[in-house]
Structures are given as structure tokens and as C-alpha cells.
Amino acid sequence: MALELGTLTALASISDVAQVAAAAEETPAWLGGLLGMGVVMTALVSIWLATSLVGSYFVKKKAASLGKTEAAPKGVTAPQPAAAAGNDIPLAVIIAAAVQMVQAPIRNVVVNAPGMATTVWSSQGRQAIYASHAAKAPQAVTSLGTIRKK
């Protein structure tokens, strides 16, 4: 009786292994990988389409709002933006707030960059740097044929 019980248990475990192996053979690994890649590509394309639709909506909304603006009468100037007209908050207040947040002294550095003057200045500096570089003498430059292997 003990031998039959052990044999039945062994047969049951072999049957279970055979069922698992049969289930694994139903879908090949390459098909699972292909389906996974398809799911990822579908998700990426749907995200791309959603962001494109949202972007085109905002572009059309901005174009519509620009078309509705009325032209100012002649002789009336448009108000300047806050950056061009000057800040309403003094620089000392901003520095005091920064010192309070950092709890350390802060060095105040103000940089004024003019519009197109920087291109002339940078090109003059570049020319000065290039002019300071000396050209190599012709005898210092050798052809590749004169290089010897050691």
C-alpha cells in the first residue's frame, strides 16, 4: 500500500510538471516579447498624440487671442513690461529676503548687459586672442612620411 501511495504521488507530480511545461509551450518567448514591445509602442504613440493635441490647442488659442487684439491709436505708446520699465520691488528688499532665507551674508552683483554691444565686444576679444597665437614655421611642420616607428 505504501508503494502504491508513493507511486501515485510521483505520478501526480510528474503530471503537474507536464501540465506546466505544456502551458509554457503554448506561447513562445518571442511572441511575449513582441506583445510587450507592442504595448510599450502603443503607450508611447498615445502619449505623443496627446501632447501634440494639447500643444496644437494652445497654439490655436494663442493665435486666436492675438487676432482679437485691437490696434492702439496713433500717438499712444503701449505700456512697457515690468522688466523694461523697472522693478517695483527695490533691490535692497530682494537682497534682505535672500539673506534671511540663506542665513548668511550675500554679495550683491548687478550685471547690465546691453543688447547688441556684446557681439562687437566678443568679436574684438576673439580677434585679439587669435592674433596672439603665433603661426608655426614651415620647417616645424613635417609630412606624415617622415614619421618613423620605433
* Each residue's pLDDT tens digit, 2-40: 556 667 787 777 777 777 766 656 778 888 899 999 999
| pLDDT per position as a tens digit, 101-148 | 899 888 877 766 666 555 677 778 888 888 877 666 556 556 666 666
Name residue 47's amino acid: I
Angstrom CA distances, 130 to 118, 123, 141, stand at 18, 11, 20
For the stretch 44-58, pLDDT in tens is: 999 999 999 999 999
pLDDT at 11: 73
Which amino acid type is present at position 98?
Answer: A
> Cell numbers 505520478 correspond to what residue?
11
Residue 91 has pLDDT above 60, yes or no: yes
Q: How does DSSP classify residue 115?
A: S
Local confidence band at 1 (pLDDT 50, 70, 90 cut-offs): low
Distance, in Å, from the CA atom of 134 to the CA atom of 2, rounded to the nearest integer, reads 100
Closest-CA residue to 51 (of 66, 43, 65): 43
- The pTM score is 0.30
Of 146, 133, 83, residue with least CA distance to 113: 83
> What single letter denotes the amino acid at residue 24?
A
Q: Which three cell numbers stand for residue 131?
A: 592674433
pLDDT at 85 over 60: no
pLDDT at 82: 46
* Nearest-angstrom CA–CA distance, 128 and 132: 6
- Write down the pLDDT at residue 17: 72
